[in-house]
Amino acid sequence: SPATGIIGAMDQEIELLLQSLEAREDVHLSGMTFYRGVLEGRPVVLTRCGIGKVNAAMTTLALIWLGADRIIFTGVAGGVRPGLRVGDIVVSTDLVQHDLDASALGYALGQVPDEAEFSWEADAALRDLALEVASQVTDVQAVAGRIVSGDQFIASPEKVRWLQQTFDAAAAEMEGAAVAQVAYKNRVPFVVIRSLSDTADGGAHMDYPTFMPIAAARAKTVVREMLRRL
Ligand code: ADE
């Protein structure tokens, strides 16, 4: 039966949503755990995907096979766009794999060879709802922008500048583009919502643990309110 798939990157965030999940049923598949149930009166499948694009891709496909007909991903990211601050929320317009490089074959950086899309567009309705809810239920700035993903924790100003100039990125993280690619191929609408835990510079590794619990609590509030309005 159709359900909204919710993927969290953080244990804390999944924990907070699990506490409110009604009619919970746990499904174990390929080393992952999925929690079916009802949240805010809506059928959902909830899961934590682990770190990196491979984990994100396999989780997303399993979630779709378990009946998810739309996907909301929430987690934290490093801010890339100038002016964004720790705590701000970036909602995906589209996503690119910043670490994919087949330029020796003549492809643009980020382009998956032989695929039509350079980036994968989030669903406009989910994106607009996420932006509206985030600005209403939080006191931080919520913006739309391109999110770039790679199997790298970004912690240098040079790399931040490169991501800005090469991809016009607003934020960098490690899963979103993989979720987007898999969802797109399955024609499942999706959105990626990221709270900035750091600005991907020299202090990134120190800001991250401090900010994580606050971000998890905020993300939980945004997701619950989105479900109420879907
Ligand atoms: N997630 C949170 N901060 C990040 C960063 N600086 N790089 C990659 N992923 C992140």
Give the CA distances from residue 76 to residues 10, 51, 162, 185, in Å, rounded to whole numbers and listed in that order: 8, 11, 20, 24
Under 8 Å between Cβ of 191 and 126:
yes
Residue for token digits 């993300």? 219
Q: Is the CB of 200 under 6 A from ligand 1?
A: yes
Q: Is the CB of 78 under 6 A from ligand 1?
A: yes
34: helix, coil or strand? strand
Give the CA angle between residues 42, 46, 175 to the nearest 5°: 130
Q: State the average pLDDT for the chain.
A: 95
For residues 103-126, give the mean pLDDT: 97
Give the CA angle between residues 158, 159, 164 to the nearest 5°: 100
Beta-carbon contacts of residue 191 (< 8 Å; ≥ 6 apart): 71, 72, 73, 91, 92, 122, 123, 126, 127, 130
Percent of the chain with pLDDT over 90: 83
Residue 154 alpha carbon to ligand 1 centre in Å: 6
Q: Per the confidence metrics, is the pTM higher than 0.90?
A: yes
Judge whether residue 103 has pLDDT over 90: yes
Select from 55, 76, 89 the residue to mutate for testing ligand 1; criterion: most ligand atoms less than 8 Å from CB.
76
Residue 122: which pLDDT band, with cuts at 50, 70 and 90?
A: very high
CATH number for the domain that contains residue 115: 3.40.50.1580
If you count them, how many residues does the chain have? Answer: 230
For residues 108-121, give the mean pLDDT: 96
Q: Is the CB of 197 under 6 A from ligand 1?
A: yes
- pLDDT the model gives residue 57: 98
Select from 73, 74, 99, 197 the residue to mutate for testing ligand 1; criterion: most ligand atoms less than 8 Å from CB.
197
Under 8 Å between Cβ of 46 and 17:
yes
Domain count, the chain: 1
* Reported ipTM exceeds the 0.95 cut: yes
Structural domain for 83, as ranges = 3-229
Chain centre distance of CA 111: 19
d(CA 9, CA 13): 8
| Residue type present at position 172 | A
218: helix, coil or strand? helix
Q: What is the torsional sign of CA 69, 75, 79, 84? A: positive
pLDDT digits (tens, 9 = 90+) for 165-222: 999 999 999 999 999 999 999 999 999 999 998 888 877 777 778 888 888 888 889 9
DSSP secondary structure string, 136-176?
Answer: HH-SS-EEEEEEEE-SS----HHHHHHHHHHH-EEEEESSH
Q: Is the CB of 204 under 6 A from ligand 1?
A: yes
- Two structure tokens written together for 16: 């907070």
